[in-house]
Chain A
C-alpha cells in the first residue's frame, strides 16, 4: 500500500461574506469577494494530516481544480500539513460549468495515477451544496465510501467510519482503498498560521491539465437562473397570550 491520501479542497466564497446575486441573474458576484477554503474541506485536510501524524499513512496530497487562484487554497492545505499539492488547471467557461461530475472524474483519474489509498473530501461545498463529489468519485473508482464521517479509524486493511445519519450514528467498516467525506464533527481544523504558510512555500505544487488525465469537462447541466431567497416576512407582536393563541389559530398553525 502506498500510504498516500488524496484530499480534495475547493476554493469557495468565504462563509462569512454576504452573498449577492449578479444583476443578470446568471450567478453570484465573485469579483473582489473574499474567498477561502471550503470549511468541510478544511476538516478533510485536518483528518488526513492527523492520520499522517499518527503514522497511519505516509503522504498527504492536496488537490484543487480551478484557475490560478486555486493555488492559494492548495497553499493553505500545505500550511496545515499536506506534503505536496496538485493544481488541476480549469479556467474560463470550463470553470463556470465545473461541477461534481467533472471534479469526481478528475479525482478518480488522480487517485489511480497517484495510487492513493484513501480519498478524503468535504461532504459538500458551501457554495453549491451538491454533496455529490465524494459519492461520484467512489462510484467511478468502484471503491467503497464512508460519507458524513464524524469519526475515522484505520483498522488494518479496513477503515472504520462512524457516519452521521438522520437517526443518529451508523458505524461501517469498509475496505481500503476507499473514499471518505468529512462532516462537521470529524475534527477541529488547525489554523494555517503565518509561520506555517511560510514553511509551506517550500512544498511543491504540480500543475496538471484535465486533458492530461483524459477527462472530458463537458457539463450536462445548464444554469437557467439564479435568484435571491424570498425576503423574510416581518414578525408580528401581540399583547397577551390569548392574542397569541388567536393569531396562531387565524394563520392555521393550530
Chain B
C-alpha cells in the first residue's frame, strides 16, 4: 500500500529529531565511546531511589534502584523496550496479524493520544471522516477543530451496518478514488467491541464486510478497542479484530490498559503499518517525548509477575465484575424504564444506551433537570456528528454505581422522563 496518500502535509514534513536518533548510537557503541550528545540530566540527582507497590493479591512489585532509574530517566520514544516486547508478544498471540512483519507497535500516553496523533497525521481541515454514529465524544473532540465532513454510519444492536457504509460511500466509484488524495474519504473510525456509547459489538461477518468495503475504497481503518478485554463471554469466542484480518496492512489498532489496569497511569499502545506508526513516533518525539516511564515500568513488571495466566485471570475477573454490573443495571432498567425506554443489551464494557421514544431531545432534560433528580447521564446529542440535530438517546454508565443506586437512579430517571 502507498501510505503517503493518507498523510497531511504537516505529517509529511516531520523529520526525526537528530538528538533522539543519536541516542540510538549508544546501543551499538563501543564501551570506550564518550557520549556527550544527549541532553540527559544526571539520574543520580533524581530524589527517588527505590519503591515498592503492593498488589491487591498481596504480592509486591519491587522497584530496586536500577529499575527506579528506568522509571525516572528519559526513554526511547516508541516505548520502554521490555514493555514493547511484551505488548508485541501479546498482540501477536491475540491477533496474529497477517502482515505482522510490516507492522510496528509503540506505547502511547493512553490510547487516545495514539488516536489523536493518528487523526492529526491524516486529517486536514474539511476532510471527510467516515465514522460510526453515535461516536465516542473523545474522537469527536479530536476532530472538531478540523471541521471535517462527516460520513456518519448508523448501526443497530450489532453495531455499524455494512449496508449503511456502502450507501454512504456509493457516491464515489472505488476505482476512481482509490489513489485520489483530496476530497475523498480516506479514514474509517470504528469501536468494534462494547462500543462507546452503544455498548454493542460487531459480529465477525460484519467486520469482514466492513473490511472489504474499506479495502475497495482504500480507507485506513482506525480500530479503537479499549473494551477488548471487557467483552462479556469466553475469550475464545471473541470475534476476530480488524487487525487479525488485515491482509492489506490498512489497520491502525488502539489498545488500552485504562479499563483493566489503571486509567491514571496513561498507558496505551498502537499497532499499525510501519510507515504510519513512524509518523506518530516523529510527532511524539517533538511533543511529549514518550509515555510516562514509571507507568510503563510498572505495567511491564506487573505483566512479568503475572505471566499470561495471571494477566488473563485478572481480565476475566474484571470482565465478570462488569457483567454483574450490567446485569444489575438491566434489572433496574427493566423494573423502572420498560415502558419509557428502549435499549440493546451491552455485550461488554460499561455503558447502556437508552432511547426515549416519547421525547424529542434528551439534552435539556438531562443537563437542566437531571441533577435535581440525582441521576447523571450523558445526553445522546454529545455523541452525534451533527450536534444541532435533536437526539432521543442517553448514555448511562454502570461501571461505578452500586446495584442499589442503580435501582434508585432508574426510578428517578423514570420520574424525570415522565
Please say whether chains A and B are actual partners in one complex.
no
